[in-house]
């Protein structure tokens, strides 16, 4: 099923404008995440699609037909919420068959159980059929809730932070299972989360929202590699991108800061957002975005153990002949598994770089850095990306 959201607006009764003007096209069978900070309008969007709220303006169509005047029950949508209220006095099998036993399409017990068991085989909960919800784990309860939504053969599945009550390890497993299930059953799915890692791992496409506005709607890797604006660049990525204010000097064609300069000639001309500008910059200052992996420890400098300080990313390409761009005193080294995060100060701004966890770099050490120039980003002060 395709879903088309056009110019959707929602202002709550208290005057709060939760959705400003949202347009999203979701392709048949896609798994799309609504991602963004708390309060950005994710749940509002989901509830409007489900029909639990009325929009202030705009339209929602499913397979080309407007549904905004349809009752939630007639939208053919399955929903799973954060608190996936299973009926505690019913067994798992009774919980799953329940939606088939009520309403207009009421089925006999035998018929309903036959259907339920087919789905329970897919979600791997057949063995739990006779258990009560309180006697199974959180992850199993979540699978029961999803199975219960699926037996109704919804055209679309809406999941609102369905994993937020689960522990970290279980979240990883269940989210992979959800993806497998909805793909196998070819159900168009919208999944709300505020967790970028969850969105990146599960989605075909991500809608990144902020303050009721879609900031970027794209495939996961593009949000990271090709952010539409400063908000997207800052939201996506862990550790977060470094943002440094730099002045532009049109005479020397350099972006300058007290810590280091960036020659415009070192950038990749094809990556300027406005080709007409021909790689020229016409403002006095920019916010320069440098991902932690693009601050490269210069392993060619004396005192840095090249073997152990093997770098993440294109370090080798920049090592060797060229001198380091700047030096920084490392404030702390944070281990995050395979990588370590180096924390240091650049011109009064807290900056981060990532290196291989085996790098022999300690707090207090003065470390020479290079910058992977072509991979930086330039933003105007209003957040518009120019490079
Ligand atoms: P998210 O799901 O992204 O956290 P929501 O869609 O729940 O965000 O909320 C978007 C904004 O609308 C928030 O600022 C929230 O406080 C506000 N909001 C949500 N529900 C209501 C309501 N019933 N009345 C007034 N404001 C609301």
Report yes or no: 333 and 361 within 8 Å, Cβ to Cβ.
yes
Looking at 171, 202, 235, the residue that finishes a domain is 235
Going by alpha carbons, the residue nearest to atom 27 of ligand 1 is 12
Same domain, 221 and 249: no
Work out the pLDDT band at 323, boundaries 50, 70, 90: low
Which ligand 1 atom sits closest to the C-alpha of 38? 4
pLDDT tens readout for residues 350-363: 999 999 888 889 99
Q: Residue 55: which residues within 8 A CB-CB, separation 6 or more?
A: 8, 9, 10, 19, 48, 68
Asked if residue 346 has pLDDT above 70, the reply is yes
**10: CA distance to ligand 1 center in Å?**
10
**48: CA distance to ligand 1 center in Å?**
12
**CA–CA distance, 260 with 254 (Å, rounded to integer):** 10
Ligand 1 pocket list (CB less than 6 A): 12, 14, 16, 18, 36, 38-44
**CA–CA distance, 179 with 202 (Å, rounded to integer):** 6
Smallest CA-to-CA distance from 133 within 122, 121, 147 is with 147
Pick the most confident of 65-69, 78-82, 148-152, 153-157. Answer: 65-69
**193: CA distance to ligand 1 center in Å?**
14
Same domain, 15 and 81: yes
Read off φ and ψ for residue 249, nearest 5 degrees. -110, 105
Q: Residue 236: which residues within 8 A CB-CB, separation 6 or more?
A: 196, 200, 208, 223, 224, 227
**69: CA distance to ligand 1 center in Å?**
22
Cβ-count burial of 35 within 10 angstroms (0-12 exposed, 13-18 middle, 19+ buried)? buried
SS (H, E, C) 316-342: HHHCCCCCCCEEEEEEEEEECCCEEEE
Q: Which domain holds residue 286?
A: 242-379
pLDDT tens readout for residues 108-166: 999 999 999 998 988 889 999 999 999 998 888 888 998 898 888 888 999 998 887 77
Lowest mean pLDDT: which of 105-119, 269-283, 300-314?
300-314
141 within a domain of the structure (yes/no)? yes
Structural domains counted in the chain: 2
Going by alpha carbons, the residue nearest to atom 25 of ligand 1 is 12
Distance of CA 67 to the CA centre of its chain: 28
Read off φ and ψ for residue 375, nearest 5 degrees. -95, 10
Same domain, 262 and 209: no
**160: CA distance to ligand 1 center in Å?**
14
**369: CA distance to ligand 1 center in Å?**
44
**51: CA distance to ligand 1 center in Å?**
16
User: What percentage of the chain has pLDDT greater than the value 90?
Assistant: 67
Which ligand 1 atom sits closest to the C-alpha of 192? 2
Query: What one-character-per-residue DSSP string does 105-159 give?
Result: T---HHHHHHHHHHHHHHTT-GGGTTS-GGGS-HHHHHHHHHHHHHTT--SEEEE
Going by alpha carbons, the residue nearest to atom 15 of ligand 1 is 39
Same domain, 290 and 330: yes
| Length of the chain, in residues | 387
Asked if residue 2 has pLDDT above 50, the reply is yes
Same domain, 216 and 301: no
Same domain, 114 and 133: yes
385 within a domain of the structure (yes/no)? no
**CA–CA distance, 179 with 175 (Å, rounded to integer):** 6
Looking at 184, 201, 235, the residue that finishes a domain is 235
pLDDT tens readout for residues 156-193: 999 998 887 778 887 888 888 889 888 988 999 999 99
Q: Which residue from 39, 161, 213 has its CB within 8 A of the most atoms of ligand 1, so it is best to mutate? A: 39
pLDDT attached to residue 53? 95
pTM comes to 0.89
The reply to whether omega before 239 is within 30° of 0 (cis) is yes
387 within a domain of the structure (yes/no)? no
Same domain, 131 and 212: yes
**190: CA distance to ligand 1 center in Å?**
18
Report yes or no: 179 and 202 within 8 Å, Cβ to Cβ.
yes
**40: CA distance to ligand 1 center in Å?**
7
Work out the pLDDT band at 282, boundaries 50, 70, 90: confident
Map residue 374 onto helix, strand or coil. Answer: helix
Going by alpha carbons, the residue nearest to atom 1 of ligand 1 is 39
Which ligand 1 atom sits closest to the C-alpha of 36? 3
Mean pLDDT of 276-296: 84
Mean confidence (pLDDT) of the chain:
89
Which ligand 1 atom sits closest to the C-alpha of 209? 3
Cβ-count burial of 237 within 10 angstroms (0-12 exposed, 13-18 middle, 19+ buried)? middle
């Amino acid at each position: 099923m395709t879903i088309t959201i056009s110019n959707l607006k929602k202002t709550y009764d208290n005057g709060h404008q939760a959705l400003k003007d949202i347009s999203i096209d979701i392709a048949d069978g896609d798994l799309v995440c609504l991602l963004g900070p708390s309060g950005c309008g994710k749940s509002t969007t989901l509830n409007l699609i489900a029909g639990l709220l009325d929009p202030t303006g705009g339209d929602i169509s499913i397979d080309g037909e407007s549904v905004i005047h349809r009752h939630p029950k007639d939208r053919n949508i399955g929903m799973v919420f954060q608190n996936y209220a299973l009926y505690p006095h019913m067994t798992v099998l009774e919980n799953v068959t329940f939606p088939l036993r009520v309403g207009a399409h009421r089925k006999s017990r035998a018929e309903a159980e036959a259907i339920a068991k087919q789905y329970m085989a897919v979600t791997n909960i057949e063995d739990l059929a006779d258990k009560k919800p309180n006697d199974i784990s959180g992850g199993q309860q979540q699978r029961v809730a999803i199975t219960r939504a699926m037996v109704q053969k919804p055209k679309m599945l809406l999941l609102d932070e369905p994993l937020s009550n689960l522990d970290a390890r279980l979240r990883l497993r269940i989210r992979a299972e959800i993806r497998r299930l909805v793909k196998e059953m070819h159900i168009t799915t919208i999944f709300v989360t505020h967790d970028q890692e969850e969105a990146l791992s599960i989605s075909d496409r991500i809608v990144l929202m902020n303050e009721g506005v879609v900031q970027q709607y794209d495939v996961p890797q593009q949000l990271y590699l090709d952010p539409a604006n400063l908000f997207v660049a800052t939201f996506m990525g862990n550790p977060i991108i470094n943002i440094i204010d730099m002045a532009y000097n049109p005479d020397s064609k350099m972006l300058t800061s007290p810590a280091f300069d960036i020659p415009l000639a070192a950038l990749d001309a094809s990556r300027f957002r406005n080709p007409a500008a021909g790689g020229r910059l016409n403002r006095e200052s920019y916010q320069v975005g440098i991902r932690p992996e693009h601050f490269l420890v210069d392993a060619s400098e004396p005192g840095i153990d090249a073997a152990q300080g093997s770098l993440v990313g294109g370090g080798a390409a920049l090592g060797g002949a060229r001198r380091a761009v700047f030096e920084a005193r490392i404030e702390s080294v944070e281990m995050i598994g395979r990588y370590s995060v180096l924390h240091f100060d650049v011109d009064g701004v807290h900056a981060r770089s990532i290196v291989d966890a085996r790098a022999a770099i300690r707090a207090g050490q003065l470390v020479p850095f290079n910058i992977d120039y072509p991979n930086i980003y330039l933003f105007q002060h209003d957040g518009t990306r120019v490079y």
